[in-house]
C-alpha cells in the first residue's frame, strides 16, 4: 500500500506516504485522488511507454559520463523543491493553488530539480561529470490532453571543472573548448531544422552570470543545445523508422525552435519547442546552472548546464499517444501494445463518446482574498483539494476566493480520469454590478467504456455542489 491514514481523536490528522508518516496542517491540500497515484512507478515497468522513453533519453546521455538515477519517494521539503534552487519567496510556483502540500514543510515535488542539489553533490570526486534523474512529479494544473496532475520528468546536468588558479585559466579554457567542440561535432542532428534565439550574453535578464566568462558560457550553451537537439533528433528518427517507406520519404525535417526562458536556477535559460500536428509543443526547459547552486553542492570550480524534460511529451510524440491520461491506463489494449526497446505507433482502440456539460457561476467579491502560502488562514483551497485535508484543516468557515486551478481540482476529485478537458468558454463582466461570471465546459469521456447519461449528470451535479460549498460563488 502506498499510503494509509491515521486517525487521531476521531479526526484524520495525517497520512502515511510510502512508509513515512506526515501530520496535516493548515497548508495541507493534497487530495486522496492524487495520493492514490503515488507509488505506481510507471517508469519501472520495462514495457511501459514511460520506461521505454526514459531508456531512450538515458541512451543519449551515456555512462560513464552520466550517472542515471530514479527517486521513488515524491515527498520533498520546501527547501529542496524551492529554497535551495533560489526560488524567490513570492514565486507563484510556491502557491497552494499550484502545488500539492502534504503540510507546511513537505510537498509532492513539482519538478525533478528538487533532486538537483543532491545529484550535484554526488558528482564531487566522482568519475561521472553529469547525471540524469527520472521521477514522477505533481502539479495542480489545467486539464487537457497534454496536462495531467501527475506526470514524469527527467532532468539532466553536465559539469566541467574550472581551473583553480588564474594562471591556468586561459590554457584550461582552451582545452575545455576543444573537448566541448569535439562533443558538439559528434552529436548528429541531421533531421532537425532548428531556429536559435538571438541571445545577448552580455546584458539583460537572460545574460551570462557575472562570475562567468562570456565566451565560456557561449560554448556551454552550444553544448547544451546540441545535446538536446541530438536527443530530439534521435526521438524523431526512432519515430520515422516505424513509418512505411512511402510515408517516411515524403516527410520533411522536424521543425524546432529555441526560445529564451526564465528559471530561478539557471541563467541564461531556454525552452525547446517542436512543431507537432501544426502546433508548437514545449518539450523542455534548460540553462546554465546558477553558480551558487554548484558552489553549495561542493562544485565550486565547475561550470555546467541542466535541463528538464516532460517524459510524456516525448512519449506522445514518439508513440503517437493522443491523450496523456492513457499512460495511467491499466487496460490491456493499451499496455500490451508496447515492448521494452521497441518503438511502435500506438493503435487507438475504439474511442467512447464524449459528453459536454457546462457550469456557469458569478464570482462574489470576497472579503478573504487569497494570500500567499503560509499566511493564509482560511483554508478553502485545502478543502477544495479533497476529503481528508479538509477535515484536518482548522479554519474553514469562510468560502475561499476562486482560482482557475481550483475548478480543475474539484473536477478531478469528483470525476478523476473520466474528464478529458475543462475549458473556460465564456467570461462576462456585468456592466452595472461589476460582478464577473465564468462558464466552464467540462468534457466527460472515459478511455475505457461508455459513460451513461445518469452517471455524467450525477458527476456534474457533484461538481456543482462542491464548487458552491467551497468557493465564494453563485451558480447561475
- Determine which residue in the list 24, 61, 151, 160 makes contact with ligand FA5, applying CB under 6 A: 151
In the complex, least distance from residue 427 CB atom to ligand FA5, rounded to whole angstroms: 23
In the complex, least distance from residue 60 CB atom to ligand FA5, rounded to whole angstroms: 16
Q: How many residues bind Mg ion (CB under 5 A)?
A: 1
In the complex, least distance from residue 39 CB atom to ligand FA5, rounded to whole angstroms: 19
In the complex, least distance from residue 241 CB atom to ligand FA5, rounded to whole angstroms: 23
* Cβ neighbours of residue 356 closer than 8 Å, sequence gap 6 or more: 441, 442, 443, 444
Examine residue 135 and tell whether it contacts ligand FA5 (CB under 6 A). no
- Determine which residue in the list 48, 94, 106, 111 makes contact with ligand FA5, applying CB under 6 A: 111
Task: Report whether 47 contacts 340 (CB < 8 A).
Answer: yes
- Determine which residue in the list 119, 284, 355, 401 makes contact with ligand FA5, applying CB under 6 A: 284
Cα–Cα dist 226/234, whole Å: 12
- Determine which residue in the list 43, 148, 160, 338 makes contact with ligand FA5, applying CB under 6 A: 148
Cα–Cα dist 262/335, whole Å: 37
Instruction: Say how many C-beta atoms besides its own lie within 10 A of residue 20's C-beta.
Output: 12
Nearer to Mg ion, 156 or 285 (CB): 285
Taken as a whole, the chain contains a residue count of 476
Nearer to Mg ion, 314 or 438 (CB): 314
Per-residue binding string, ligand FA5, 254-273, x by CB under 6 A, is ---------x--x-------
Tell me the DSSP string of 181-214.
Answer: HHHHHTS--TTEEEE-----SSSSTTSPPTTS-H
- The three three-digit cell numbers of residue 243, written as one number: 513509418
- H or E stretch including 289? strand 279-289
Nearer to Mg ion, 285 or 380 (CB): 285
Cα–Cα–Cα angle for 89, 92, 97, rounded to 5 degrees: 120
Query: What is the bridge-based pairing of β-strands 473-475 and 355-363?
Result: antiparallel
In the complex, least distance from residue 114 CB atom to ligand FA5, rounded to whole angstroms: 9
Cα–Cα dist 256/196, whole Å: 9
Query: What is the bridge-based pairing of β-strands 254-263 and 75-77?
Result: unpaired
In the complex, least distance from residue 273 CB atom to ligand FA5, rounded to whole angstroms: 9
Q: Which stretch binds ligand FA5 (CB under 6 A): 148-156, 202-210, 361-369, 433-441?
A: 148-156
Distances (CA, A) of 329 to 321, 341, 408: 12, 20, 20
Nearer to ligand FA5, 84 or 451 (CB): 84
In the complex, least distance from residue 305 CB atom to ligand FA5, rounded to whole angstroms: 8
Q: State the residues that interact with ligand FA5 by CB under 6 A.
A: 111, 113, 139, 141, 147-148, 151, 153, 155, 263, 266, 282-287, 306-310, 312-313
Q: State the residues that interact with Mg ion by CB under 5 A.
A: 285
Amino acid at each position: 500500500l502506498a499510503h494509509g491514514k491515521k486517525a487521531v481523536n476521531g479526526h484524520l490528522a495525517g497520512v502515511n506516504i510510502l512508509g513515512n508518516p506526515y501530520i496535516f496542517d493548515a497548508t495541507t491540500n493534497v487530495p486522496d485522488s492524487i495520493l492514490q497515484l503515488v507509488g505506481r512507478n510507471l517508469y519501472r515497468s520495462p514495457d511501459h511507454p514511460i520506461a521505454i522513453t526514459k531508456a531512450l533519453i538515458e541512451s543519449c546521455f551515456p555512462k560513464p559520463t552520466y550517472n542515471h538515477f530514479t527517486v521513488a519517494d515524491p515527498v520533498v521539503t520546501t527547501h529542496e523543491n524551492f529554497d535551495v534552487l533560489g526560488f524567490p519567496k513570492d514565486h507563484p510556483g510556491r502557491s497552494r493553488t499550484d502545488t500539492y502540500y502534504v503540510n507546511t514543510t513537505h510537498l509532492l515535488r513539482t519538478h525533478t530539480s528538487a533532486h538537483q542539489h543532491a545529484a550535484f553533490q554526488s558528482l564531487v570526486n566522482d568519475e561521472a561529470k553529469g547525471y540524469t534523474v527520472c521521477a514522477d512529479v505533481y502539479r495542480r494544473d489545467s486539464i487537457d490532453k497534454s496536462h495531467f496532475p501527475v506526470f514524469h520528468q527527467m532532468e539532466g546536468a553536465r559539469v566541467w571543472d574550472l581551473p583553480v588558479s588564474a594562471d591556468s585559466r586561459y590554457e584550461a579554457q582552451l582545452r575545455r573548448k576543444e573537448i566541448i567542440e569535439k562533443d558538439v561535432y559528434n552529436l548528429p542532428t541531421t533531421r532537425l531544422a532548428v531556429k536559435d534565439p538571438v541571445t545577448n550574453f552580455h546584458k539583460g535578464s537572460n545574460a551570462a552570470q557575472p562570475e562567468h566568462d562570456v565566451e565560456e558560457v557561449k560554448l556551454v550553451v552550444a553544448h547544451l543545445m546540441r545535446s538536446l537537439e541530438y536527443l530530439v533528433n534521435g526521438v524523431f528518427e526512432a519515430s520515422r523508422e516505424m513509418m512505411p517507406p512511402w510515408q517516411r520519404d515524403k516527410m520533411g525535417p522536424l521543425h524546432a525552435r529555441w526560445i529564451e526562458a526564465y528559471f530561478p536556477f539557471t541563467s541564461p535559460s531556454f525552452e525547446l519547442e517542436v512543431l507537432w500536428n501544426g502546433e508548437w509543443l514545449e518539450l523542455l526547459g534548460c540553462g546554465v546552472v546558477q553558480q551558487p547552486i554548484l558552489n553549495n553542492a561542493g562544485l565550486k570550480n565547475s561550470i555546467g548546464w541542466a535541463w528538464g524534460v516532460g517524459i510524456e511529451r516525448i512519449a506522445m510524440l514518439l508513440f503517437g499517444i493522443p491523450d496523456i491520461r492513457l499512460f495511467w491506463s491499466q487496460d490491456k489494449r493499451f499496455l500490451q501494445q508496447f515492448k521494452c526497446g521497441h518503438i511502435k505507433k500506438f493503435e487507438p482502440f475504439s474511442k467512447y463518446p464524449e459528453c459536454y456539460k457546462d457550469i456557469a457561476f458569478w464570482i462574489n467579491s470576497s472579503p478573504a482574498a487569497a494570500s500567499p502560502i503560509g499566511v493564509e488562514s482560511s483554508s478553502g483551497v485545502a478543502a477544495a483539494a479533497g476529503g481528508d485535508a479538509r477535515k484536518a484543516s482548522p479554519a474553514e468557515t469562510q468560502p475561499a476566493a476562486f482560482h482557475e486551478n481550483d475548478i480543475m481540482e474539484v473536477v478531478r476529485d469528483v470525476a478523476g480520469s473520466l474528464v478529458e478537458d475543462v475549458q473556460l468558454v465564456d467570461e462576462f463582466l456585468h456592466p452595472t454590478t461589476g460582478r464577473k461570471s465564468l462558464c466552464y465546459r467540462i468534457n466527460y469521456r472515459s478511455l475505457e467504456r461508455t459513460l451513461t447519461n445518469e452517471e455524467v449528470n450525477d458527476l456534474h451535479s457533484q461538481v456543482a455542489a462542491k464548487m458552491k460549498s467551497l468557493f465564494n460563488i453563485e451558480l447561475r
